[in-house]
Amino acid sequence: MKDVVLIDKPAGWTSFDVVAKIRGFVRAEYQAKGEKPTKKQLRVGHAGTLDPFATGLLIILLGDACKQAGDYLKLDKTYEFTAKLGEISTTGDPEGVITQKSSSQPSEKTIIEVLKHFSGKITQTPPAFSAIKINGHRAYKLAREGKSVEIPEREVTIHTLELVEYAYPYVRCVCDVSSGTYIRTLVEDIGKVLQTGAYCQQLRRTRIADYKIENALGVEDGLKSLSDTLEY
């Protein structure tokens, strides 16, 4: 679909950074042809925020496809993540203030048993540092200002959660989850059950429904592909 672009978001970029980069490219392409792009032609959005430290599949929507963003947000997703045990983070990821929590080293058997507790429908409290809106304001903006952020619990579904590798303090997993699932919160909750504390050190989204990371392009290659689809 020419109005849907799959991007492999690099670490350090926000989802909005990718949107802004593509919108700027589209504007420059039209201007280079001596044309002024319409509002529709400059309409660029994404279907599901990825944290800045995370990498992976980001669905970019162009033009009228932006109207279907809500439908994409409801789709199931697959993530690969690495949890670091023994430490906690104020943001649940490497960008927060890291604090030593425990030196306990659980066995691989214990890790596997604890992961089973997070299968099926579970309840989560999304992190304060998230894109959720509270009274019209993004939660992470309120949190950065030092304001109290209270986000209600939500029910999500963990379809699968499998251990890939365990080499203390790192636990690598892959999971298939419903929309609305926060992997940072999942990792923190796993750390609480283990009584070691944990934060999400690495996170990569590899699938959104039938869209897969294997079909995604890096940002620069994604821009090149757009040149062939723009309508002049």
Mean pLDDT throughout 175-183?
96
CATH H-level superfamily of 4-74+210-227 = Pseudouridine synthase (3.30.2350.10)
Dist CA 1 CA 61 (whole Å): 10
Task: Answer with the residue of higher pLDDT: 137 or 209.
Answer: 209
Per-residue pLDDT at 154 exceeds 60 = yes
Interior/surface letters 183-216, b for 16+ CB within 10 angstroms, e for the rest: bbbbbbbbbeebebbbbbbbbbbbbbeebebeeb
Per-residue pLDDT at 130 exceeds 60 = no
- For the chain, the domains span 4-74+210-227, 77-208
Neighbours of 113 (CB within 10 A): 13
Q: Given this model, what pLDDT does residue 102 score?
A: 96
Structure confidence by residue, pLDDT tens digits, 57-97: 999 999 999 999 889 989 999 999 999 999 999 999 999 99
Known catalytic residues? 51
Q: Given this model, what pLDDT does residue 131 score?
A: 58
Mean pLDDT throughout 207-216?
97
Mean pLDDT throughout 174-200?
97
CATH for 77-208, options being 3.20.20.10, 3.30.1280.10, 3.30.2350.10, 3.40.640.10: 3.30.2350.10
Band of pLDDT at residue 138, cut at 50, 70 and 90: low
pTM of the model: 0.89
Which of 153, 198, 207 is closest to 175 using CA atoms? 207
Domain 77-208 in the same topology as domain 4-74+210-227: yes
